[in-house]
Structure 1
Amino acid sequence: MKYVVPFHLKSIQTKLFCTYSLLIVSVFMIAAITFYIFMARQISLNASETIYQSANNISVGLDALLQEMDNTVVKIIFSDNIKKLFFNEPDPTSEISMFANQRELNSHIFSIMGPLQSDWQINIMNMKGRIWGTGDYSINTFLPLYKMEALDWIRSTNELDGRKWISTPRKDDWFPGDRTVISVSRRFPWDLGSSRYAIVEVQTDYQRLTAAINKRITPSSGVSETRSYMVFDRNGTLVYPLGADSTAAKLYWSRVQANATPSGKLELMRAGGNEIVSFTRSDYTGWTVAVSQSERVLLVPLVRFRNQMLIGAFGLLIVTLLVSFYVAKSLTAPIKQMHKLFRSLSLNTLLPASQQQINAELNELEMLSTAFKQMCLRLELSLEETLLSRSKEIQARMAALQSQMNPHFLYNTITVISVMAEEAGHHEIVRTCKLLSKMLRYILDHDKPATTIGMELDYTIDYLQLMQIRYEGMLYYEIDIHPDMRHIVIPAMTVQPIVENFFKHGLHVPPPWRISILGQMDDTRWSIQIADNGTGFSPEMIEKFPEWATRIDQERDFQRNPSKGIGMVNIDERLRMVYGNGAEFRISNNREGGAHISLGGHVKPASNLEVAPLYGTR
């Protein structure tokens, strides 16, 4: 049955996808919000700055227009020819004199104005009611003094006593039709200290003022049509546009007047929505230009930018989420393959050759796959070691059962020999029988896998005494063991087989033969050094013994050819079963000749083993 890994919230792929997605979304949202706030502020500032520049441009244009008109007024005032003609008119009542005088005045006026100001109207009047004018139309008449003084702009001009007066839009007092104008006027005397005064007025049609304002309005993709433009004089009278909502004009003026600075920006809350107002106040004219625009319209570029950014952000977010999904999938695909391989693991698929190849493009997963294959190989070897150890245990039990078939017969036979030897006075035979009986009992009664160093050495000493009886004065041995070592647990039949190995392979040198057994220990480890003066080990065995000790499959070769050191390998293997990696077993040759074997381990064995009863007790 095909195994499919279910989608689960706790799966690695889900966690990777959610983590990466959350991280990407968080970083993206923080960056997008920060960028949006920054751009919103910049767009708002740019829009406000555009409004302010528009107000400033209009103010500069109005200043230029009115200053040009005032300059004309000043030129006329300082023209001696015009003053002589106007103040020293020979006969104001004579039509011939009036027309002649008017032609001469027109000539002087046009020389001052030039051809570019042909749409201006210049009027000169004295306090006796004499009025003369030229420009858009001509006027040459008298007006009663009380009518002149009834005009507001004339009264204001007289009050300023030579300073300029700029009138708000008003009806032209001299034109017979309906004409709205603005004017700049000044009062001037005939001469310094003279009591005779006159007023010079330069007026222009209100439409020219409107044209000057419209010319200064910056066209910006239709945005200017959504703005409101207002011009106030220093008293708050609405100069432009005429006919505007007076309530709205008063509201704008009240907010602007409350601001003491000559220019600035403010926010006005109205029923239709908030408005941004920029204003500038002219030092020359005293007029204030205010430009307002709905905040909603002002922020149209910002809204457009926000929508475009949201669309782009959404698309980019979808792409990043897809990339995150495929990255998480590519990372977890090898893990899923390994999970599938784990579930299908059996004794038949332990070896790497029988396992499915895992396609991993990451070093870590490749290392994990390699480690898994190595684990399977070690598991295979461990199983073989376990089976071999079990086989050895069964063989040992069979041998023990065979040796125990009739132990009483062996004991009784040795006892009979001992009694006969004692009756005959052969004391060496009696001693030999006692030693042999003790050793036989140690072997047959030793059904536990472990013993102590003390019991193993007692057994070895009995064996050496038997060998001394056999070889009489040709064998000497030395045993020096730390007393605390006698209670250390070791595998049974560890020391004696090494000593016996000398009598099997080391007696090819002339006697006397010497065997030494020396033991040392510290707080953590113990060691026993066994040396003789025999022929020693062959160079081949010393070189290949570590390899033989680690290759279990050599066991069959050892059984077929015991000369290869199966006894030594057996002792090394049993030491490792008790002490694990802490076991020590090394073979070498002494410099002066003979074999040298070193074995040891930790003071405390790696595994708990049952220890046989004390040697020599029943």
Structure 2
Amino acid sequence: MRKRIKTIQSNLFFTYSLIIIIVFAVFVTFFYFWVSKLIKDKAFETIANLSDSTSDKLDIEIQKMDQISMSVLYSSAVKDRFMEYISEPDKTAYTLYDENNRKYAYINNTKELIDVLFAIIGPNRPVQQIYLYGFNGKVFGTGTDNRQQNLSVSEKPWYEEVIDNNGKKVISLPMKDEELSKFVTQRGSPYFISLFRVYFDNYNVPQGIVEVKQYYDEIFKSIDRNINNRSDDLRIFVYNNNGDLIYPLKENASEKDFHYFRLKNPDVNQAFSITAINPFNNERELIGYRYSEYTGWTTVVAISESKLLSPVFAFTRIVLLVTLVTLFLALAFSFFAAKKVTVPIARLHKAIKSFNLELPVVAYPIELSSDLYELEDLNQAFHKMSIKLKESHNELMISKQQEMQARMLALQSQMNPHFLYNTLSIISVMAEESMFEQIAEMCGNVSDMLRYISSDKSPLVKISTEIEYTQKYLSCMKFRYGSKLSYSIEIDDEMKEIRIPKLIIQPLAENAIKYGTYREAPWNVRIYGHKTDNYWQITVEDNGIGFDGDKLKAINEKIEEVNKNGLIPSLELEGMGLLNIYIRLKLAYKNKMIFQIRNNIDGGAVVTIGGST
């Protein structure tokens, strides 16, 4: 292979440019990955700190509730008065005077119990409500709701879990309490978090259950504040040990809300951070986990890596802009530095531009008036090249003519010989019967079809053009088979302007007629198509005998061979057959193509093609 001749100016130009590009590319690449690593490490640290602080704040809120419950459990004043409240005296031995004294003692005991519980809650109100449930059905409320009620505590949904924990704290899921919300006017959310413990008497015998309630919004206000104060796409989730979603509050949580909990290794209960792909938006995310032994809650903090690294992307764009400006200045410098030796080259360039292959080559090289040996040698080489180029041009023209002839032969071989023979036969019979209008229409269709096939303007055409060509083909077949053949074409208007590979629908219609006529008439061919948001799809079906099992297997094997090896096998399926169509769809749409072949349940073959819009 001969070495390509280069000018001095191009050598200088490309040498300087390549050096500058390599230096800046190495610098930008190194800086990008270095800064990206720093930011990512800092992000992991930030996420870990944020998950730790969030989990600690939630622990503090739950500790406030737990301290209240423990104060109630270990308060002798509460214990004595609550035991008096739930006791059932023997009324048969009471006189009227005793009954009045009992009522007075009961009212006084209730008042003292309320005072003690309010003192435990305190003026800062770390919780909003305390309920004392007796196993005998009595309920004593203090806080927002100060009612005394009678209800069966064993019917509560949390009863079994609280009893099974035998005095240990139980933290509920967010629960809606419409009754308690009636006593609150300044808040809109009816959701609360409750903490339960079993209540024991002085002999360690269970006597009831203590419930401490706090507003859901109050417990998770620190998380809301963290999210609202950040401009990036920060997401925080809180789950309990069962994987139930605690935060954010959602009545109908979807699958994506539990994605982060499923990523967590159930055997790892320590703080850690990972990177993972979110399957719901296909974004890589940085995720931090913190498990609280105290609450049993897992706090998850997640942020999109692309948004986290957006400052790096912005800086990279600035560096690229500076690189381009610097490169432009360097190229300008190299241009002027090389211009001193490029005046003779400009004359040679002018001669090259004026060279015309249609004109005869001059016998001698042009005069450069240059004292540079390299340029004179280049001039001589150009003259020799001109002579050879003229010879190559003549050979190329001959090859073009031969190629055109070969293309026409290939196109003619792709036409169905039986179709042309039958068409001429039909035209002959119609001429004998003086059906001149039908003959003219049929000849026009055949002429248009041949013109369409031999056209080489573009490999892509509009769907409307391909359908029009298919319509003409079906019309010709209608002349041949008459009422035995029927067809329908239903294509959405919105997809007619889409450009698709040429000669991709008509061969399917031809295939449907060819194999559909193997059975007795009537024969029907249906072509229909529609467009989705991202794809177009066209289906051709017939009511023939359908695909033979062996032939269908052979087609699928060749398709698998194309997908596996990327090689185009020899086309044995009638030239423009199914495999031909599959390969052209594959080349045009890659993996975003649609190609399905199957047999209809009621008989006949169905072929569906399509691609991205």
TM-score (norm 2): 0.47
User: Which is higher, the Rg of structure 1 or of structure 2?
Assistant: 1
TM-score (norm 1): 0.47
